[in-house]
Amino acid sequence: MDQSHPSTYDMSDYLGMARRHWWLVVLAVLAGTAAGVGVAGTRPPVYASSVSVLVLPVDGQDANAAGGRTSAAINLDTEAQLVTSTEVATAARALLKTGTAAGDLVAAVSVSVPPNTTVLDIAYEAGSGTAAQAGARAFATAYLSARLGRAQADIAAQLAALDAKVRQYGASLAQLSGRIAAMRPDDPNRAAVNSQINTLTNQINALTGRENQLATTTVAAGRVISDAPVPTRPVRPVRALYAGSGAILGLLLGSALAWLRQRTGRRVRRRGDLRRAGVPVLAVLPGGTRARFDDVYPAYATAGRLFHRLRNEVLASLRPGDQVLVVAGASRGLGSTLVAANLAAALARTGAEVVLVCAHLPDSIAAAAPAARLLGVAAVPGLSDVLAGKVALDEAVQPATRTPGLRVLTTGGTASAGGLVPSAAVGDLVAALRSRAGYVVVEAPSTAASADAQSLARLADAAILAVELRRTRHAEVRDAAEQFRRVSTPLLGTVVLPRLRLRAAAGPGRGTAAAPAGAPPVIAAPVITQPGPAEAGTAPGTLATAAPEGGAGG
């Protein structure tokens, strides 16, 4: 019984939107998944093979990695960078005997260092398994060769430096030996020269020992501890990843399309859509209730209690002296019939005398005399017969036996009744009913079908609009509100109900009055079913119904 609705969407709105347009989201997800798989099929396969290399210190020291990657005897981060250096890539290119540029080979290499180890994992990616294996092996071999070559070059440089120093010290020693040979035994400088000779001799011996040590050092740059295998499956593309990414993109696209369809849709699909027309919502017909088509909703039923609340709000909105209410549908269908009959019954339960005037002519023969069947009265005589002068008003008004205090003036059986509604006789009839009843509820035709609803609203004190979900268009709601505004009839609000359909009746309903000869046959009655997926998101507990096929389409 909300009088207003929040102007923003909440989670229930989005979930309802997803339920209504689930097929659109599913199609988008399937299309996205198929597109992802298709894109994965166009990508060339990429194979990867890796080789593990144990890096050893070239000076023969213990390579303990427990101290970390960079503080041990070997800086593994530096060694990892050396694997992708131009020098190693050029050597690997020569081993592979390929014309690929060294830079392209480096782009296919990745190096990782397992924690707390002195091991380098060298991985190589290629278009085939054998090429990936050959590339990993080539880079491992080139790296070890380059590291060994650098170590040997360092040793050779050290030996050359030591040899040059030994020769330098030897020349100095020869000079000092010549000086001491020329000195007299009692020369005071003799002791100093002897000391220098001893120092040079010791240094030469030390350098010579270092040379011998370097010359006998065994250089071991490292070794392969895990050879590169031939991969049997490509690492890229990952079809599951492409399919999942496509599904996610499809889900986002489907959600966006569902939201766009919801926002740009011409039909009212939930009560919140009515805020676009600027009209308040008085009531939403609840779900989970089996409607009795040969009677109005019982007072103790969920829908009956809703109409009692609607009655209270309507009475609170009326001004002193207001008696006549007009109930019109925004679109073709039986929504106004259902709302007018139950509102009139709710008013009659207060003890007031209520007259229900059925001015809504059936849209088709399949919908003949729905109000008469609903209330258990005869279809004729009725309003059209009174306006045609065939019967008196008192004779045409019939008591609804199952609802004390409620009297009904049906549409009648005169075929030309549609042209009599705007006549001056209708005003006289409404004025006569004002003096004979406490309240008069007029079931008007649809505002989208003719101007009769506006003509009847001009004679009423207030108006209520019946809106069928998934049948009524936004433009029809706005047009109905504008019609009432132009004749200065206050529009109290809308009653939202799910779409109604007609079902052929197997026989007369319980307590249905027999129709006189010549009266239109009662063929069908409105059917209300449980909510389906399309209607489930309209409102909590909304009664899912469907509408006459002869109603407004599109």
Q: What does each of the 554 residues of the chain score in pLDDT, given as a tens digit?
A: 333 344 455 566 666 666 777 888 899 999 999 999 999 889 999 999 999 999 988 765 545 554 445 445 678 888 899 999 999 999 999 999 988 898 899 999 999 999 888 899 999 999 999 999 999 999 999 999 998 888 888 888 888 998 999 899 889 888 888 888 888 888 888 888 888 889 989 998 998 888 888 787 777 788 899 999 999 999 989 889 999 999 999 999 988 888 777 666 667 766 667 766 678 888 888 654 443 444 678 888 888 888 999 999 999 998 888 899 999 988 888 888 889 999 999 999 998 999 999 887 765 544 456 777 788 888 888 888 888 888 888 888 999 888 888 999 988 876 444 455 666 788 888 888 988 889 999 998 888 888 888 888 888 999 999 888 878 887 888 888 889 899 999 999 888 887 776 554 434 333 334 444 344 333 344 444 333 333 333 333 333 333 333 333 33
Helices 22-42 and 239-264 pack at an angle, to 10 degrees, of 150
Q: Hey, is 397 helix, strand or coil?
A: coil
Which residues on adjacent β-strands are paired with residue 152?
A: none
Long-range pairs, 133-138, Cβ under 8 A, ≥24: 133/49, 133/228, 133/229, 133/230, 133/231, 134/96, 135/49, 135/92, 135/96, 135/105, 135/108, 135/109, 136/49, 136/50, 136/51, 136/228, 137/51, 137/227, 137/228, 138/92, 138/95, 138/96
Type and span of the H or E element at 479: helix 474-486
**Looking at residue 498, what is its pLDDT?**
79
Q: What is the pLDDT of residues 130-165, one digit of tens each?
A: 999 999 999 999 999 998 888 888 888 888 998 999
Q: Are 456 and 421 in contact (CB under 8 A)?
A: yes
CA 298, CA 290: separation in Å to the nearest integer? Answer: 11
β-sheet bridge partners, residue 494 = 281, 465
Domain range list for the chain: 15-43+238-262, 47-226, 279-527
One-letter amino acid for residue 102 of the chain: A
Strand 47-55 with 119-126, pairing: antiparallel
DSSP secondary structure, 421-471, as one string: TTSHHHHHHHHHHHHH-SEEEEEPPPTTT-SHHHHHHHTSSEEEEEEETTT
Q: For the domain bounded by 47-226, which CATH number is listed?
A: 3.30.1890
pLDDT tens sequence across 498-520: 777 655 443 433 333 444 434 43
- CATH number of the structural domain 279-527: 3.40.50.300
CA angle (332 as vertex; 482, 550 as ends), nearest 5: 155
Cis peptide before 381 (omega within 30 of 0): yes
The tens digit of pLDDT for each residue in 92-105 reads: 999 999 888 988 99
Q: What is the pTM of this model?
A: 0.54
